Structure 1
Amino acid sequence: MIVATGAVWAVTAVPAAAAESDLPEYLMKVRASQMWKVADGTGITVAVVDSGVKDLPGLEGRVLPGVSFMEPPVSRPDEKYPPHDDFQGHGTTMTAAIVGDGSGGGPRGLAPGAKVMPIRTSIGTPMAFGAIGEAAKGVRYAADNGAKIINLSIGGWWSLDKMKPAVEYAQSKGALVFVGMGNEGDGNKSTNPIANLPGVLGVGAVDLTGEPLPSSSYGPSTDLASFGGKVPVRCKENTAWCVQDGGTSYATSLASASAALVWSAHPDWTANQVARVLIQTAGAPLDGSKRNDWIGYGIARPSKVLLDHQGDPGAPDGDPLAAPAPVQTQAPSAAPAAAAPDRAEPAAAESGLSRKWPALGAAVAVTLGLGITVILKRLRR
């Protein structure tokens, strides 16, 4: 058992309305149906840089044309890979988590009024060795084509020589970037290097009790957390929905959707201001600490902004990660401070999307998270 590491989803318990009866518990905990009466993500485009998207009934009208940066094999130079296709299903799952309408067995998205811009890369294919360059192109494309939020539920063993300038370019265009911490269940050496880049929000995964998933990687670059437990994910070669752990990939999509809700309600805010209020209103660690390496400043709770009118957006140009505003904390736990999660206790029934990064083909998966030197994101402590 992890002690005093998790966080409370919501301070105020609100009885479920009749319209919420078909919502999954994690959406009920963040008071999704009440939030949607205030803002549902309308007007906000979230770029999902991933494996593409499969056109499904639950996504109709919610997905933009997008673009594919997949490089064809040398043996088939004329091969085309449209963005509205997905070999693996990972990108489709992330898209549905953000904007899905719940039909066809898929999930209800947290920001159903938003639009997803699918940006397809070689993630999840034998050509994944080129995914980092493709993803960097995708980040630039997203920034140039109206994406306010860039969702990177991806990671791997790669250099940041292309991704770092791409992220900086997107930030200069006003975009907010979220990235999953990783699903290796380890700290620092296995965390996603993209999360170390300045201004990028690294996202960890928790279960419904607010405890970190054992598979969720952790470290100083963890900024927020969201739900990543048993969720509908694409499976069986992207032909069906199965309930599995979605890990930090799914959590990142929910964090991106949380930002879309806040930004939809406050379209005049900047990326820094949206990030700041999410940090301020996050469900902080139960031991009373300001942050920890497993859930960062806490679980994202956009309802605290939209329904309870909490959070001060502050200066439009100030980086909230460089100098975070005071966060709202829960009462300190009587339990001792948390130790690192027991790595000998694996998460149950995990596969595919939960334990392995989709960015990697089998040939390079064993080197995930190793041998990368990156710039520290901020001097927070």
Structure 2
Amino acid sequence: MAVSAGTVMPAAADTDPRGYLKIMKAQEMWKVADGTGITVAVIDSGVKLVPGLRSESVLPGVSFMEPPLEHPDQKYPPHEDFVGHGTTMTAAIVGDGSAGRPQGLAPGAKVLPIRTSVGTPMAFAVASEAAKGLRYAADNGAKVINLSLGMTSDWPMDKIKPAVEYAQSKGALVFAAMGNEGEGSNWTNAIAALPGVIGVGAVDINGEPMPFTSSGPDTDLSSFGSKVPIRCKENTAWCVADGGTSYATSLASASAALVWSAHPDWTANQVARVLIQTAGAPVDGSKRNDWVGYGVVRPRMALLERAGDPGAPDTDPLAAPAPAQTPTPTPSTDQTAAVPTASADAESGLSWQWPALGAVVAVSLGLGITVIVKRRRR
């Protein structure tokens, strides 16, 4: 897992590190669509309404977080977050950008927080909690479901798989982070391997895959996951650190919200198809590869250039076979972005992996996220 220690984020707006918003032409896109009318469910560690997040952007939500065995009556409200991971993902989508704080990519959208035990000693319960969350999200108006968390292939998928299928039957589009285990690792997200789920990898500001991003045939899209604003210091401050595939997934979810906001009559398949068609192709010249999928998500192409053909409303755009390629990623020339996994872990001294019942669920704040393994779902 790639984790970087992070530095406290300056308050001044002119030091805002999120150059990806300029590259994505966010200001221009928001004149066409800003996510209004779209609810994005964030199934994560909860959300804390900190400076930079407005209450009107965050719905009441729900918590499925299991109480500790010694305190079975303990309650965990959805608008609380022990580790800050869910708060970071929420801000990436709907942050208000005030005083140099995080600016969300889809500021007009609503986030539906669904709290789980991610990042706690009770993380062994996340599979069942996330399954409940998927069904709740689908039943409560979420068009996009963000899973910046993951599970290894040895986790029982008997609850997650039917829950994903249920959400999809209700018209929701599901995004899942690929994971941050890096080159040569077998770890990717078992959730992202499910049919119709969009697996998301992380790239740097130049569109090159981050060294820590997990790769595999289930990578469908990618987005920015380098230096970004994350919650740190026990969720008491904003810092700058690597956001990893967690953050990239939130940006992909926000991109879907933008496109769907502009085309509310489209189905999940049509939104996904256009995002895939308009993605910035892999820098190695291939149609897709196992590091960035079909490329870097570019909602501006759909909103500003009117590119992409939504196609058949009921056909999964991922159903057709695609060549699986695993090229060696070109090292980034951005030395601040390419943080080697080993040194990053050493810097932080933090681990969000909790061994429990022989399994692992991981998130990391700046931390990229996800523990995971994937198989192709074609």
The TM-score by the shorter chain falls in which range? Answer: 0.7 to 0.9
1:218 aligned partner:
215
Deviation at 1:288? 2.3
Where structure 2 has 5 or more consecutive residues not aligned to the other structure, the ranges are: 1-12, 332-337, 363-369
Name the TM-score, length of structure 2 as normaliser.
0.85
What is the aligned partner in structure 1 of residue 91 from structure 2? 96
Q: Describe the superposition over 1:247-297 as per-residue Cα deviations: whole angstroms up to 9, x where unpaired.
A: 000000000000000000000000000000000000001232110000000
Q: Structure 1's 372 and 156: CA in aligned 2 closer, same or farther, altered over 3 A?
A: closer
Further displaced range: 66-75 or 258-267: 66-75
Evaluate the alpha carbon distance shift between residue 51 and residue 21 of structure 1 in structure 2; reply closer, same or farther with a 3 A threshold: closer
1:84 maps to what in 2? 79
* Residues matched between the structures, number: 346
Q: How far off its partner does 1:75 sit?
A: 1.2
Counterparts of 2:262 and 2:358, CA distance in 1: 40
Confirm whether residue 57 of structure 1 aligns to residue 54 of structure 2: no
Aligned to 2:64: 69
Query: How far apart in 2 are the matches of 1:357 and 1:156?
Result: 16
Give the C-alpha shift of residue 164 in structure 1.
Answer: 0.4
CA distance in 2, matches of 1:348, 1:229: 16
1:159 positional shift:
1.9
Q: Does 1:117 align with 2:106?
A: no
Q: 1:23: Cα distance to partner?
A: 7.8
- TM-score normalised over the length of structure 1: 0.84
Instruction: Give the AA of the match of 2:218.
Output: S
SS at match of 1:58: coil
1:38 aligns with 2:27: no
Q: Which amino acid in the other structure matches residue 339 of structure 1?
A: T
Partner of 1:154: 149
Whether the 8 Å CA contact 2:151–2:371 is kept in 1: the answer is: no
Q: Classify 1:362/1:243 alpha carbon distance in 2 versus 1 (closer, same or farther; 3 Å).
A: farther
Cα deviation for residue 128 of structure 1 reads: 0.4
SS at match of 1:95: helix
Q: For residue 321 of structure 1, give the secondary structure of its aligned residue in structure 2.
A: coil
Change (3 A) 1:228 1:371: closer
Structure 1 residue 338 displacement after superposition: 3.6
1:203–1:251 Cα contact (<8 Å) kept: yes
CA contact (8 A) 1:188 1:220 kept: no
TM-aligned CA deviation for residue 106 of structure 1: 2.9
Secondary structure at the residue paired with 1:291?
coil
Contact 2:65-2:129 at 8 Å conserved across structures: yes
Give 3-state SS (helix, strand or coil) of 1:151's partner: strand
The equivalent of 2:19 in structure 1 is 25
What is residue 277 of structure 1 aligned with on the other side? 274
Matches within 5 A, 1:1-381: 24-60=18-54, 61-103=56-98, 105-157=100-152, 158-186=155-183, 189-323=186-320, 338-339=327-328, 346-347=340-341, 350=344, 360-361=353-354, 376-378=376-378
1:375 is displaced (CA, Å) by: 6.0
> Which amino acid counterpart does residue 118 of structure 1 have in structure 2?
P
* Superposition deviation, residue 234 in structure 1: 0.4
Structure 1: which 5+ residue stretches go unaligned? 1-18, 326-336
